[in-house]
Amino acid sequence: MDPTQLRYSPTHEWLYLKDLTATVGISRFAVDQLTDLINIELPAVGTRLVRGKSFGEIESVKAVSDLYAPMSGEVTEVNTAVVDNVQLLADDPYELGWLIKLNVDDAAEFGELLDYEAYEKKLAEEAH
């Protein structure tokens, strides 16, 4: 995935939408902030996600963090490779490190996510 073509949540999840299928991951910035990833917990296929609610957790040496659903929908696929080897996420958060695919409920929610420019701007602001 090309990061400039993705949408982002303020909690650093990225989302790519095609028809009604969304692919979800977390941003390079989030991965670099966490460092030392140990473990990731993802929901089972068929789980219903609610936008803004936790759908899993990611643990590093320092801390455990929730993953938040950028859109509501039903999980249709889970990247088991990243569950087995969380290093994939650290190495390649936009391709091999994708997390889940969703059948989204309401495509209108897409419009509320940040585009690349807005996300970069938010990161720059937070750095000050």
φ/ψ of residue 54, rounded to 5: -65, 135
Instruction: Give the interface segment with another protein, choosing from 15-23, 55-63, 95-103, 116-124 (CB under 8 A).
Output: 55-63
Residue 120 CB burial class (10 angstroms; 0-12, 13-18, ≥19): middle
- Binding residues for another protein, total number by CB under 8 A: 8
- Residue of 96, 103, 86, 94 lying closest to 12 (CA atoms): 94
Q: Which of 20, 45, 64, 118 binds another protein (CB under 8 A)?
A: 64
Backbone angles phi, psi at 123, to 5 degrees: -65, -40
| Residues 69-128 close enough to bind another protein by CB under 8 A | none
Residue 35 binds another protein (CB under 8 A): yes
**Site residues (CB under 8 A) for another protein?**
35-36, 38-39, 59, 61-62, 64
